[in-house]
Amino acid sequence: MPDVTCKLSGLEKSFGRNHVLRGIDLELRAGEVTALMGANGAGKSTLVKVLCGYHFADAGEIELAGAPFKPLDAADAISKGVVTVHQSIDDGVIPDLDVATNLTLDLLTEPGADFFVNDRKLRRQARKVAESMGLTMDVRTRVADLEVADRQMIAIARAMARAPKLLILDEPTSSLSASEADRLFALIDRLRAEGVAILYISHRMSDIRRVADRIVSMRDGAISGLFETEPLDYVGAVNAMLGHQMTEVDIDQVAGGDPILEVDGIRLFENGPQIDLTAREGEVVALTGLLGSGTTELAEVLFGLAKPAGGSLRLDGKAYTPKSAEDAVSKGVFMSPKDRSVNAVVPDFDIANNMTLPFLGAFSRFSFLSERGQRRAADDMIDKIGIVCQGNSDGINTLSGGNQQKVMIGRWLLQASRVLLLDEPFQGVDIGARRDIGHYIRQTAKGRTTLVFVAEIDEALEIADRIVVMHEAAIVGEYINKNVDLNRLVADVSGPASGQGKREAATQAMAG
């Protein structure tokens, strides 16, 4: 058994009356990747924040390499050997500076560093670091000009330059494509071989299958399952995280009525493949595909945020050429975008104002708002879609991710639409809220057509009547959501001959 790098015992943390961590006991060992799984609100982020010095624990102890570890702040945690790469990559790099400077930044802040910067020396040192991490780019490239994966590698490389004992990776693949993720995994393999203890936080079964030596499941602030005997029990881990066996959702598959939205030969880029699609009244169509497969780009075209490189759209039989979001909304095409905190949430507003934002015109007379009308509509939607809150005047940021997302979706259900586009509606949403949202979308699906853009196949299976698979800006498969042949579906998603086995297995585990 390898050495224990970090030992947590009886860790507790509360915010007010809310007990977020209820006694965590956990050992993280050198040269092992421990995957941490948990639904939203299980306490994963809080655990990470305690480890990296952002929060103090209320009770319990942490030992790092045998010595008590009580970081005063984030810098202290890093200097003692606990380094975290956070979910949002740009926290870890300085985008406007070049790779060399990013990799050697810590040398500049060291006591006794030279007053003048010797660029050539820095570049040499940076090249050494880059090589040791398997990075091949020119170190003079500006970080902002790199791809996401490279930026992330640099964030990790910076972290590694401090020779950490414990490396925490928080959802590192959330913005990576499959091949980019493979590079990250190769790097993790190397670090493991060097004897670093790694805590790997992720929702993605495929990642966890690839890298984990052991799995820890968290639920309601406590450890609900520890799996470390080969072969790892992935289904067990998922069950421990969710607290119940995942069952397939029963979909009353609907065929759909008249065509509402007709996509005719749309190309997402010059000389790209043509996309043809008909979305009918009353049906829910899921468009699924890996990151970069074109689902988001198609959604943007449909909502007037981007111009297609060719082809045409028809709405209710008439030509539809949306010029802007404003234009699309006025024609009855609504979209709930992905990344809600960036694209949807108005942090200064309360629930009612966030929800009614697109339709303020309907809540005002001679431009003067009817506050009562807004609040009544919000209360109504809070009931219908099941938002857990104290009232419609709660600040939006007091809500959990799932409830925020319910507000953002509910926003577009206040008024009838012809086409409802939902881009990643289940992003950062716990399983309960996901079910609520899916249920309500299906319940209200009559009278419009609904297109849902999701990367996860199980999410598509949970909500859609019809599943359309995209790969490299083309439609490569279409399935009626009834006894779907999962193997074929997964094969379509992965595209011709690329790591099918992994995705397939992952999907089966998630779909139970």
Minimum distance, C-beta of residue 12 to other proteins, in the bound complex (Å): 15
Minimum distance, C-beta of residue 341 to other proteins, in the bound complex (Å): 9
Residue 320: both structure tokens together: 């539809």
**Cβ atoms 216, 226 nearer than 8 A:** yes
Positions touching other proteins (CB under 8 A) are 15-18, 305, 324-326, 328-330, 335, 337, 342-349, 353, 357-358, 360-361, 363-364, 367-369, 390, 394-395, 397-398, 411
Bridge-based pairing of strands 166-170 and 197-201 is: parallel
Minimum distance, C-beta of residue 473 to other proteins, in the bound complex (Å): 22
Could you give the angle at the alpha carbon of 336 between the alpha carbons of 238 and 491, nearest 5°? 50
Minimum distance, C-beta of residue 26 to other proteins, in the bound complex (Å): 23
> Considering beta carbons, is residue 48 or 159 the nearer one to other proteins?
48
> Considering beta carbons, is residue 328 or 455 the nearer one to other proteins?
328
Q: Which residue type, as a one-letter code, is found at position 429?
A: V
- Cis check for the bond before 231: say yes or no (omega within 30 of 0): yes
> Considering beta carbons, is residue 200 or 363 the nearer one to other proteins?
363
Minimum distance, C-beta of residue 305 to other proteins, in the bound complex (Å): 8
> Considering beta carbons, is residue 393 or 443 the nearer one to other proteins?
393
> Considering beta carbons, is residue 83 or 299 the nearer one to other proteins?
299
Residue 360: both structure tokens together: 């303020």
> Considering beta carbons, is residue 69 or 453 the nearer one to other proteins?
453
Nearest to 504 by CA among 482, 492, 487: 487
Minimum distance, C-beta of residue 321 to other proteins, in the bound complex (Å): 16
161 CB-near residues (< 8 Å, 6+ apart): 103, 106, 129
Q: Which phi and psi (to 5°) does residue 214 adopt?
A: -150, 155
Q: In what order do the strands lie in the sheet containing 33-38?
A: 82-85, 166-170, 197-201, 33-38, 214-219, 222-227
> Considering beta carbons, is residue 186 or 346 the nearer one to other proteins?
346
**Cβ atoms 92, 86 nearer than 8 A:** yes
**Cβ atoms 148, 180 nearer than 8 A:** yes
**Cβ atoms 452, 287 nearer than 8 A:** yes
Q: What is the dihedral of CA 94, 100, 103, 106, to 10 degrees?
A: -90
Residue 149: both structure tokens together: 């994966």
> Considering beta carbons, is residue 137 or 357 the nearer one to other proteins?
357
Nearest to 494 by CA among 452, 463, 455: 455
Minimum distance, C-beta of residue 346 to other proteins, in the bound complex (Å): 5
> Considering beta carbons, is residue 141 or 343 the nearer one to other proteins?
343
Cα–Cα distances in Å, from 202 out to 12, 67, 87, 215, 297? 22, 28, 10, 11, 25
* 3-state SS track over 287-307: EECCCCCCHHHHHHHHCCCCC
Could you give the angle at the alpha carbon of 407 between the alpha carbons of 457 and 364, nearest 5°? 140
Rounded to whole angstroms, the Cα distance separating 26 from 29 reads 10
> Considering beta carbons, is residue 108 or 362 the nearer one to other proteins?
362
Consecutive H or E run containing 236: helix 234-242
> Considering beta carbons, is residue 182 or 220 the nearer one to other proteins?
220
* 3-class state of residue 186 by DSSP: helix
* 3-class state of residue 411 by DSSP: helix
> Considering beta carbons, is residue 74 or 235 the nearer one to other proteins?
74
> Considering beta carbons, is residue 316 or 394 the nearer one to other proteins?
394
Minimum distance, C-beta of residue 336 to other proteins, in the bound complex (Å): 9
Minimum distance, C-beta of residue 297 to other proteins, in the bound complex (Å): 15
**Cβ atoms 306, 297 nearer than 8 A:** yes
Cα–Cα distances in Å, from 371 out to 356, 364, 377, 416? 10, 9, 10, 21
Rounded to whole angstroms, the Cα distance separating 148 from 152 reads 6
Minimum distance, C-beta of residue 59 to other proteins, in the bound complex (Å): 18
Minimum distance, C-beta of residue 184 to other proteins, in the bound complex (Å): 28
Nearest to 390 by CA among 381, 379, 377: 379
Minimum distance, C-beta of residue 329 to other proteins, in the bound complex (Å): 3
Minimum distance, C-beta of residue 21 to other proteins, in the bound complex (Å): 13
Cα–Cα distances in Å, from 399 out to 115, 402, 466? 48, 8, 32
